[in-house]
């Protein structure tokens, strides 16, 4: 068995074995469906939704992607700024850490009151949820730039902006993608929280509405779909990193 095939077969076999044990225990122990549905029950719950599941998955995915893009537009430049300007770092970094320490589920209802019940509020919640790891990873990568590379750039007469664009940012690419991998999975959490408190569509909304009707298999099917979306987005970020910035994987820390 080749290493590449082994990396595929072992996780799949483990997952299938897990599902098999779960299914067996559900029937053997006669666990009520409203407490812990079996994999078959969850599958049937998802298929009963049909196109409703796909439509709401699309709504959640839209919220995730737009919010994640906003987080990148805020987090990466802010990470560069706090890493190259000590004054700015001392001014805003403690505030950012403080805001990040507040559970998003606690401030989500407040954001709904302030910004209303439209898409804007959901995007703000997703952005606030996932921009911090992106910012921290970017700052870590910028600060990790070897002093020898910086000295060489300065001897060559590079300006601060040139130094950032041609030396610091290329070195920080792997760090940034580490933050993006964390950020995109956290964005899924942010989207669900946003849909819990402010939505009439999306997978988060389906979870709450199904749970209210005690349709636990359907709610669990939505949770499984959220997990699938999260894994696919994580792998998409990995693919972009390897496909377009493969050189950084060889020259920096491991993937």
108-131: pLDDT as tens digits: 999 999 998 889 999 999 999 999
Report d(CA 125, CA 48) in Å as an integer.
30
What confidence score (pLDDT) does residue 251 get? 47
Asked whether the predicted pLDDT for residue 193 surpasses 90, the reply is yes
149-187: pLDDT as tens digits: 888 888 888 888 999 999 999 999 999 999 999 999 999
44-92: pLDDT as tens digits: 988 888 899 999 999 999 999 999 999 999 999 999 999 999 898 889 9
Mean of pLDDT values over 4-12: 84
CATH annotation of 46-251: 1.10.3720.10
What confidence score (pLDDT) does residue 36 get? 86
pLDDT bin (cut points 50, 70, 90) of residue 8 is confident
Going by C-beta distance under 8 Å and a sequence separation of 6 or more, which residues neighbour residue 76? 134, 135, 138, 176
Cβ proximity of 15 and 228 under 8 Å: no
Asked whether the predicted pLDDT for residue 250 surpasses 70, the reply is no
Tokens encoding 143: 């600060």
What confidence score (pLDDT) does residue 2 get? 78
Q: Domain segments of the chain: what residues?
A: 46-251
- As a whole number, the mean pLDDT across the chain is 91
- Buried b / exposed e over 140-151, threshold 16 CB at 10 Å, is bbbeebeeeeee
Q: How close are the terminal C-alpha atoms of the chain, in Å?
A: 24
What confidence score (pLDDT) does residue 157 get? 87
pLDDT bin (cut points 50, 70, 90) of residue 255 is very low
Tokens encoding 80: 């560069």
Of residues 248 and 112, the one with the higher pLDDT is 112
Name the 3-class secondary structure at 41. Answer: helix
Report d(CA 35, CA 183) in Å as an integer.
32
Of residues 54 and 5, the one with the higher pLDDT is 54
What confidence score (pLDDT) does residue 48 get? 87
Closest-CA residue to 141 (of 102, 110, 168, 121) = 168
What confidence score (pLDDT) does residue 61 get? 97
Report d(CA 210, CA 222) in Å as an integer.
9
Asked whether the predicted pLDDT for residue 253 surpasses 50, the reply is no
13-38: pLDDT as tens digits: 999 999 999 999 988 888 888 888 99
What confidence score (pLDDT) does residue 71 get? 97
* DSSP one-letter code for 213: T
Asked whether the predicted pLDDT for residue 208 surpasses 80, the reply is yes
Q: What is the phi-psi region of residue 31: left when phi exceeds 0, alpha when psi lies from -120 to 50, beta otherwise?
A: beta
Cβ proximity of 31 and 25 under 8 Å: yes
What confidence score (pLDDT) does residue 7 get? 80
Going by C-beta distance under 8 Å and a sequence separation of 6 or more, which residues neighbour residue 109? 197
* DSSP one-letter code for 50: T
């Amino acid at each position: 068995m080749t290493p590449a095939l082994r990396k595929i077969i072992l996780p799949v076999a483990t997952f299938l074995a897990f599902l098999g044990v779960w299914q067996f225990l559900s029937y053997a122990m006669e666990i009520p469906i409203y407490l812990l549905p079996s994999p078959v029950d969850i599958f049937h719950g998802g298929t009963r939704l049909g196109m409703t599941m796909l439509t709401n998955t699309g709504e959640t995915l839209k919220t995730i992607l737009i919010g994640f893009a906003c987080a990148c537009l805020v987090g990466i430049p802010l990470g560069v700024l706090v890493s190259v300007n000590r004054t700015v770092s001392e001014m805003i970094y403690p505030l950012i850490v403080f805001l990040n320490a507040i559970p998003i589920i606690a401030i989500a209802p407040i954001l709904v009151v302030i910004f209303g019940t439209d898409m804007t509020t959901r995007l703000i919640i997703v952005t606030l949820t996932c921009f911090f790891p992106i910012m921290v990873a970017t700052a870590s990568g910028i600060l990790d730039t070897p002093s020898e590379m910086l000295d060489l750039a300065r001897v060559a007469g590079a300006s601060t902006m040139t130094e950032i664009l041609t030396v610091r940012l290329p070195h920080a690419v792997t760090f940034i993608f580490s933050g993006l991998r964390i950020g995109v999975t956290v964005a899924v959490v942010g989207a669900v929280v946003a849909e819990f408190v402010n939505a009439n569509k999306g997978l988060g909304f389906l979870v709450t509405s199904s749970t209210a009707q005690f349709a636990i298999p359907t709610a669990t099917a939505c949770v499984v779909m959220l997990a699938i979306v999260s894994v696919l987005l994580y792998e998409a970020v990995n693919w972009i990193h390897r496909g377009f910035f493969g050189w950084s994987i060889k020259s920096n820390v491991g993937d």
